[in-house]
C-alpha cells in the first residue's frame, strides 16, 4: 500500500508568552475560568515575528534533525489560515529562505485546524506521482492577528506557532486516511481582513458537539480500514483545541488516558500547527520510536475533519 513516513520534525514558537494571568489584564477573565474550561494555561503571541518566519524556523529544525539534503525536497506545502499576505504564499517564502530548488511546487492550503492533515494527504499523492524523495509539510499560524481581545470566549483559546515535518514515501499495511467537510459557515468563522469584522467568531457549543462526535467516528473508521482496535494504537494525537473535548472523546474508547496526547496547556489552540507541534514534542520525549503506530485527528472550521493512521 502506498503510504508516507515522517522522517523528521521541528517546531517554532514566538518569543512572547501570554499566561492566563496576562490575559486577565486585557479581558474579563481569570486563570481559573480559562484552565477549568479548556485546560489552557498559557499561549505564545507574535511580537514582531511573522507567520513565514515561524514556518521557516520550524522547517529548518526539521531539515537539520533529519540531516536532509535540501536538494531532495520536492515540494513545500504550508497549512495556514493566517498567512502574512494574500500572496505570495507562506510556502513560497519558505522555499526562498531555505534555498530550496526553484523547480518544485510551493503553495499554501487552508483547511483551518485540519490543515496539516489535509496537507499530508496532498503531499502523499504528489510524492507518489512525481518521483520526488521528500516533501516538506508545515502547519504555521499567526492567529493573534485574528483575535478580538474584547471577546473572552475566543481570545483566550488561541496561540501562534508552527510545526513542520519532512515526509517520504513508505510501503506499509499500517496506513489509512479519512478526510471530509460539510461547509458550515456559522459555528466557526473568520472573515477576510478587508471586511469590517476580521476576527474569529465561534459558537463554542456547536464546535464542541461537532468535535466529540466527528473525532470518534474518524478514529473508528481508521481502525476499521486497517483491521485494528484502539489497543493496537500507541498514541492518538488530536488537534489540541480543548482538554474537555479530548477527555470526552477518551470516554468513547476503552483505553488508558495517556494514549491520547495533550499539550494545549502550554500552547493553546494553534490551529493547523497544533498536531505537528505535538508530534515534534513527542519525538523529543522519545515517545514515537520507530515502529510505533499513531492516529492523528483534526477538526476545524468548515466544518473540516481528517484522520490519518500511520507507522512511525
Residue 268 DSSP label = -
**Which of these is catalytic: 46, 113, 155, 190?**
113
Instruction: Tell me the C-alpha distance between 221 and 64, whole Å.
Output: 35
Whole-angstrom distance between the N-terminal and C-terminal Cα of the chain? 15
Whether residue 51 lies in the annotated active site:
no
**Which of these is catalytic: 190, 239, 242, 312?**
239
161: which strand partners?
A: 141
Q: Which residue is listed with cell 495517556? A: 258
Instruction: Tell me the C-alpha distance between 120 and 236, whole Å.
Output: 17
Whether residue 239 lies in the annotated active site:
yes
| Beta pairing, strands 260-261 & 235-238 | parallel
**Which of these is catalytic: 46, 110, 269, 312?**
269
Angle at 311 between CA 223 and CA 63, to 5 degrees: 140
Whether residue 46 lies in the annotated active site:
no
For 173-266, strand residue ranges (E) read 176-181, 188-189, 201-202, 235-238, 260-261
Grid coordinates representing 104 are: 518544485
Around Cβ 179, how many Cβ atoms within 10 Å? 17
| Beta pairing, strands 176-181 & 304-311 | antiparallel
Which residue numbers are catalytic?
Answer: 113, 239, 269
Amino acid at each position: 500500500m502506498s503510504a508516507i513516513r515522517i522522517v523528521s520534525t521541528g517546531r517554532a514558537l514566538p518569543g512572547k508568552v501570554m499566561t492566563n494571568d496576562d490575559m486577565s489584564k486585557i479581558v474579563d477573565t481569570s486563570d481559573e475560568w480559562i484552565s477549568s474550561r479548556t485546560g489552557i494555561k498559557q499561549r505564545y503571541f507574535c511580537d514582531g515575528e511573522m507567520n513565514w518566519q515561524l514556518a521557516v524556523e520550524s522547517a529548518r529544525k526539521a531539515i537539520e534533525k533529519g540531516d536532509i539534503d535540501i536538494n531532495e525536497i520536492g515540494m513545500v506545502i504550508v497549512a495556514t489560515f493566517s498567512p502574512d499576505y494574500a500572496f505570495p504564499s507562506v510556502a513560497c517564502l519558505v522555499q526562498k529562505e531555505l534555498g530550496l530548488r526553484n523547480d518544485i511546487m510551493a503553495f499554501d492550503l487552508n483547511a483551518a485546524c485540519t490543515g496539516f492533515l489535509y496537507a499530508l494527504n496532498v503531499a502523499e499523492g504528489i510524492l507518489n506521482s512525481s518521483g520526488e524523495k521528500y516533501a516538506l509539510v508545515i502547519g504555521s499560524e499567526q492567529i493573534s492577528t485574528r483575535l478580538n481581545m474584547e471577546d473572552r470566549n475566543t481570545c483566550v483559546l488561541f496561540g501562534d506557532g508552527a510545526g513542520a515535518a519532512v515526509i517520504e514515501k513508505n510501503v506499509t499495511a499500517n496506513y489509512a486516511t479519512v478526510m471530509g467537510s460539510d461547509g458550515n459557515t456559522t459555528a466557526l468563522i473568520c472573515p477576510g481582513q478587508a471586511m469590517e469584522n476580521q476576527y474569529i467568531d465561534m459558537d463554542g457549543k456547536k464546535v464542541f458537539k461537532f468535535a466529540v462526535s466527528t473525532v470518534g467516528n474518524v478514529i473508528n473508521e481508521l481502525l476499521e480500514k486497517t483491521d485494528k482496535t484502539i489497543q493496537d494504537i500507541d498514541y492518538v494525537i488530536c488537534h489540541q483545541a480543548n482538554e474537555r473535548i479530548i477527555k470526552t472523546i477518551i470516554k468513547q474508547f476503552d483505553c488508558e488516558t495517556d494514549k491520547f496526547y495533550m499539550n494545549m496547556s502550554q500552547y493553546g489552540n494553534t490551529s493547523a500547527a497544533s498536531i505537528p507541534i505535538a508530534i515534534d514534542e513527542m519525538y523529543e520525549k522519545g515517545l514515537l520510536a520507530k515502529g510505533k503506530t499513531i492516529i492523528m485527528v483534526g477538526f476545524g472550521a468548515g466544518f473540516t475533519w481528517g484522520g490519518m493512521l500511520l507507522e512511525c
